[in-house]
Structure 1
Amino acid sequence: MSSPHPRPLPVEGRGEGRSLGASAFEVIDERGRGSAAQLGEVLRDCNVDVNVVETRMRRKRLLVADMESTIIEQEMLDELADFIGAREKIAAITERAMRGELEFEAALKERVAMLAGLDASVLDQVAERITLMPGAETLIRTMKVNGAYCALVSGGFTVFTERIARRLGFDEHQANVLEIAGGKLTGRVVEPILGREAKRLALLRLTAELGIDPRETIAVGDGANDLAMLEAAGLGAAFRAKPKVCEAVAAMSNGAVLTHGDLTALLYLQGYAESDFSG
């Protein structure tokens, strides 16, 4: 729970509480989600996130993260669209796909097709626009220092995930591949497309390969194509997500919705205090 000034909370029967830092406070309460709903109602107008997590296996051994609008602040197809004068059109399709109004794979193909003939050198120019989501560096560094395996799994493109994975220290990255021929984008994505189900399977593959209990995993994303992955994780976090995504994750027994905090909120959810942060 995010709060700039932790103080006693007017919730009947609350359990033991402790401050995790300047912007987070936790309450141990065996009543679970019913108590959280009551607390959420009390704090509805305070711009804080209230979530319930299991105390067992709370610190996760595997992080699987979406990239665009999650680990970074941009949607890279929208940025590429600037170079063909179609940002508004492509961004509208992106928004609808992330809200779950369009099938992800079809929407991806439609947007990439508009880029046919674009010089591949533009990819490097667009990469220079990337800015990290606040808290991203601290999240990855802290989890890795504590022995977690971190994977970047994106419905975007490897040309960008490779850079971000290297910059932040992700152990691996997985994404779609833009087809390039003669130094230009062909307007096609190399099959198979990494979509909603592929994200879920990536998480399950990693748990099997690393010998990690699925309950010891945390996944984070913002779009409808992340939902299957979030549901498969021990803790699935919707980060500044679309309304329908927040609604779906809030209904999950393993779900957490983060609207106000930055990515360090994922550390607080795991029981890390600010004094435990690295980087």
Structure 2
Amino acid sequence: MTSYTSPVGLTLSTPPGLIVTDVDSTLIAEEVIEELADYAGTRDEVAAITSRAMNGELDFAQSLHHRVATLAGVPNSVFAQVLESIHPTPGADALIEAVHRSGGYFGVVSGGFEEVVAPLCARLNIDHYVANRLEVVDGVLTGRVLGQIVTSEVKVTKLREWALAHDVPIEQTVAIGDGANDVPMLQTAGIGIAFCAKPAVKEQIPYQLDTRRLDVLIEPLGLS
């Protein structure tokens, strides 16, 4: 019999009660702000800033304000178009279903935008989400963010909040993400997994998955 080798270097005997993931480049293949920037003609500029922010070279909140400012003047009909163009990471739906079958819960924390994240979560049967919101006036994006920005600290807060809501000890949670702003959440969860992550993230997180599929985590996390 061939022995099983976990793709992340761990095999849990008890499944987690809560899994929380980042959205852009983790739950989905795309970076939503770059998809939005396509319609503003600023994709290259935004992509360059996103890459630096996710590698920890720029302050996330400041970089978000800079990127969102380039979206000013884009009609809000863009949200529906972007929602149709994004692709869940292969195996995302299978992982979510496996979590629910085991009696657990699934949440997402996003530095992206509620206008896309909310319907995506409804489509994928995700239990909890938090994301930023874009200001729209007269059907047009103003280039400003509304309310509190979803920073690394907010991601940690939501992980703890949702675990508490479901009586899940923090030791029985799993967090998955790819960017520098995910690191505190990955370090707070019982298990943190760096998913196809930036170099600065890999240096800090011992469990890593470099295969761009989420269903390969089902067996290692005791969900099969």
Query: Is residue 138 of structure 1 aligned with residue 81 of structure 2?
Result: no
Check whether the contact 1:217–1:235 (CA below 8 A) recurs between aligned residues. Answer: yes
Unpaired stretches in structure 1, ≥5 consecutive residues:
1-5, 8-17, 20-24, 27-48, 251-255
Task: Tell me which residue corresponds to 1:44.
Answer: none
Task: Tell me which residue corresponds to 2:184.
Answer: 228
Query: 2:49 is matched with which residue: 93, 108, 124?
Result: 93
Query: Is residue 52 of structure 1 aligned with residue 3 of structure 2?
Result: no
**Distance between the aligned counterparts of 2:102 and 2:78, measured in 1?**
38
Query: Is residue 110 of structure 1 aligned with residue 66 of structure 2?
Result: yes
Question: TM-score if structure 2 supplies the norm length?
Answer: 0.95
**Distance between the aligned counterparts of 1:215 and 1:59, measured in 2?**
11
Query: Is residue 198 of structure 1 aligned with residue 149 of structure 2?
Result: no
Q: Which has the higher contact order (CA 8 A, sep 6+)?
A: 2
Task: Tell me which residue corresponds to 1:168.
Answer: 124
Check whether the contact 2:112–2:131 (CA below 8 A) recurs between aligned residues. Answer: yes
| Cα deviation, residue 269, structure 1 | 2.1
Deviation track 1:141-170 (CA, whole Å, cap 9, x = no partner) reads 011111111111111110111121111110
Task: Tell me which residue corresponds to 2:221.
Answer: 270
Secondary structure of the residue that 1:93 maps to in structure 2?
helix
Deviation track 1:153-202 (CA, whole Å, cap 9, x = no partner) reads 11111011112111111012110011111111111101211111100010
Unpaired stretches in structure 2, ≥5 consecutive residues:
none
Deviation track 1:35-84 (CA, whole Å, cap 9, x = no partner) reads xxxxxxxxxxxxxx4513565xx310001111110110000111111112
Task: Tell me which residue corresponds to 1:209.
Answer: 165
**Distance between the aligned counterparts of 2:87 and 2:12, measured in 1?**
33
**Distance between the aligned counterparts of 2:199 and 2:11, measured in 1?**
21
Check whether the contact 1:258–1:265 (CA below 8 A) recurs between aligned residues. Answer: no
Task: Tell me which residue corresponds to 1:73.
Answer: 29
**Distance between the aligned counterparts of 1:164 and 1:50, measured in 2?**
27
In structure 2, relative to structure 1, the CA distance for the partners of 1:204 and 1:213 (3 Å cut) is same
User: Equivalent residues in 2 for 1:227-266 (5 A)?
Assistant: 227-250=183-206, 256-260=207-211, 262-266=213-217
One-letter amino acid of the structure 2 residue matched with residue 202 of structure 1 = K
Secondary structure of the residue that 1:155 maps to in structure 2?
strand
| Cα deviation, residue 249, structure 1 | 0.5
Query: Is residue 150 of structure 1 aligned with residue 106 of structure 2?
Result: yes
| Cα deviation, residue 260, structure 1 | 2.4
In structure 2, relative to structure 1, the CA distance for the partners of 1:161 and 1:246 (3 Å cut) is same
Identity of aligned residues (%): 41
CA RMSD, Structure 1 to Structure 2 (Å): 1.5
**Distance between the aligned counterparts of 1:72 and 1:50, measured in 2?**
19
Higher Cα Rg: structure 1 or 2?
1
| Cα deviation, residue 261, structure 1 | 5.3
Secondary structure of the residue that 1:269 maps to in structure 2?
coil
One-letter amino acid of the structure 2 residue matched with residue 118 of structure 1 = V
Query: 1:182 is matched with which residue: 132, 138, 153?
Result: 138
